[in-house]
Amino acid sequence: MVVTSMQHSDRFKDIQHLSQQQVKAALDQAIIQIDSNIDYFNETFPTPATKHNIYEKMPNTEWTTGFWTGILWLAYEYTHDEKYQKLALRQVDSFLKRIVAKDHVDHHDLGFLYTPSCVSAYKLLGSQQAYAASILAAEQLASRFQEKGGFIQAWGGAGAEDNYRLIIDALLNIPLLYWAGNEQHNKTYLEMADRHYKAAKETVIREDGSTYHTYYFDKLTGKPEKGVTRQGYSDDSSWARGQAWAIYGVPLHYRYRHSEDDIALFEKVTNYFIDKLPDDYVPYWDLIFSEQDKQPRDSSAGAIAVCGIAEMMKYLPESNANKQTYTNVMHALLSELITNYAADDKVPGETLLKHGVYSWHSGKGVDEGNLWGDYFYMEALMRFYKDWQLYW
Ligand code: GLY
């Protein structure tokens, strides 16, 4: 595999690393906002993205609601305060009901939904409700596997010809299949996840380390057809969050499968991302942009990338020439998020992390907070705070 080397690593030479005190201060600030949001949302869930930085209330029907529960679990791990645990466990009941009723689960985002909300609850407390919910979610995810092409179909009715494609985001959904496959000694799940990963690796990741958002397959032959964007700027650009899903998805795959190729793949996608970062390190919502384009940033892509780099640093040998740069990048990026992107207004219902982009083409959540950005910001802080054990 050809790994394009980083072009602009010099600017990360003298990065001041975050101190434990700075990380703790950021977590304390996030906890104040989370407490305010607990009172505000009560038994409802926040919408995927904010309007004027405030989430609206909604039932447990979106692909993003698990991130709110995940934030509560992270708050519980940080504070050990049982109030977070109690509310999160009530939400686990809601997730169990949802998957039993198959309510709004006709898509591949089962990993995003059930890993931070329920696999977490099982790992932290041994909750059997959470275990049952997670296993059912994995079953639902597996039901979307397409033999022809060997991938999990993202959207639309399973097998629908006009939606016969995978999307890069699913790199964060397949850990649910690896987890469930290991728990249940279910080889089929492991094989499906392996085949999906291979299909994704061979299609959405381009030779130079940039990425397509989605990739279509021929339904009859299973042959890969074409890369097309949905949330990125154009078919041949690199949507920043898609790139970040790859930066985190590859180390998660390595964690389960120890595939040596993953190291070079990680370097390829991460080097491309790092080279496109602007002066303050937080990416524009698509990596095609530079300063003169005056486009909004996607802070959530930054937070996801920090988590992915932090995960891969556990496995990258000390002899790796880029290890120090990657470490510096994650410190620089998280430090910038803490200083200039974290909300400190403490308004009820407010986001933790401002300036994300959900979907530019449809005008949803543009230069707004979003729930996954908040979750991965908290996860990144927890990773810097302690030896955090993954939910993924
Ligand atoms: N997984 C959908 C998104 O990243 O917007």
Confidence of residue 94 (pLDDT cuts 50, 70, 90): very high
Domains assigned to the chain: 1-42+240-392 (1.50.10.10)
Q: What is the mean pLDDT of residues 365-372?
A: 98
Q: What is the DSSP letter of 343?
A: -
- When pLDDT is averaged across residues 182-205 and rounded to a whole number, the result is 98
Overall average pLDDT of the 156-170 stretch? 96
State the average pLDDT over residues 365-373: 98
Counting from 1 in the atom list of ligand 1, the atom nearest the Cα of 172 is 1
* pLDDT attached to residue 87: 98
* pLDDT recorded at residue 225: 98
Distance (Å) from CA 213 to ligand 1 centroid: 10
The separation between CA 92 and the C-alpha centre of its own chain, rounded to angstroms, equals 20
Which pair of tokens denotes residue 129? Answer: 């409700």
What's the confidence (pLDDT) of residue 4? 73
Q: Which two tokens stand for residue 3?
A: 């790994």
Query: 50-62: per-residue pLDDT in tens?
Result: 999 999 999 999 9
* Residue 3 scores a pLDDT above 90: no
pLDDT in tens, 318-355: 999 999 999 999 999 999 999 999 998 889 999 999 99
State the closest ligand 1 atom to the C-alpha of 245, by its place in the atom list counted from 1.
4
**345 is a catalytic site residue:** no
Give the per-residue pLDDT at 345: 82
Give the DSSP H or E segment for 32: helix 20-41
Count each helix (H run) and each strand (E run) in the chain, helices first: 13, 9
The whole-angstrom separation of Cα 193 and Cα 174 is 6
Confidence of residue 392 (pLDDT cuts 50, 70, 90): very high
Task: Count the Cβ atoms, other than its own, within 10 Å of residue 184.
Answer: 13
Diameter over CA atoms, the chain: 57
CA separation for the pair 347, 24 (Å, rounded): 21
Inter-residue contact 237 to 212 (CB < 8 Å): no
For residue 358, the Cα-to-chain-centroid distance in whole angstroms is 13
- 276-334 pLDDT per residue, tens: 999 999 999 999 999 999 999 999 999 999 999 999 999 999 999 999 999 999 999 99
DSSP, res 350: B
**What pLDDT was estimated at residue 5?**
79
Binding residues for substrate: 109, 169, 227, 229, 241, 245, 359, 362
Q: Could you give the percent of the chain with pLDDT greater than 90? A: 97
Q: How many residues does the chain have?
A: 392
Q: What is the pLDDT of residue 346?
A: 83
Cα 172 to ligand 1 centroid, rounded to whole Å: 10
Q: What is the arithmetic mean of pLDDT over 258-266?
A: 97
Contact call for residues 300 and 240 (beta carbons, < 8 A): no
**Cβ atoms 49, 63 nearer than 8 A:** no
- Give the pLDDT confidence score for residue 300 in this predicted structure: 99
Taking only the tens place, the pLDDT of each residue in 16-59 is 999 999 999 999 999 999 999 999 999 999 999 999 999 999 99
Q: How far apart are CA 81 and CA 315, in angstroms?
A: 32
Q: What is the mean pLDDT of residues 261-275?
A: 98
Active site residue 279: no
Tell me if 241 CB under 6 Å of ligand 1: yes
Q: Determine if the pTM surpasses 0.95.
A: yes
Phi first, then psi: give them for residue 79, nearest 5 degrees. -100, -25
Are the beta carbons of 375 and 67 closer than 8 angstroms?
yes
HSE on the CB side for 133, CA within 13 Å? Answer: 32
Contact 385, 69 (CB under 8 A): no
Q: Counting atoms of ligand 1 from 1, which one is nearest the CA of 169?
A: 1
- Decide if pLDDT at 2 tops 80: no
DSSP classification of residue 302? H
Q: Do 18 and 381 form a contact (C-beta atoms < 8 A)?
A: no
Cα distances (angstroms) measured from residue 125 to each of 84, 91, 221, 376, 392: 13, 14, 45, 21, 16
Catalytic pick among 35, 39, 162, 169: 169
For 391, the token pair is: 């939910």
Q: Which among 109, 194, 298, 374 is annotated as catalytic?
A: 109
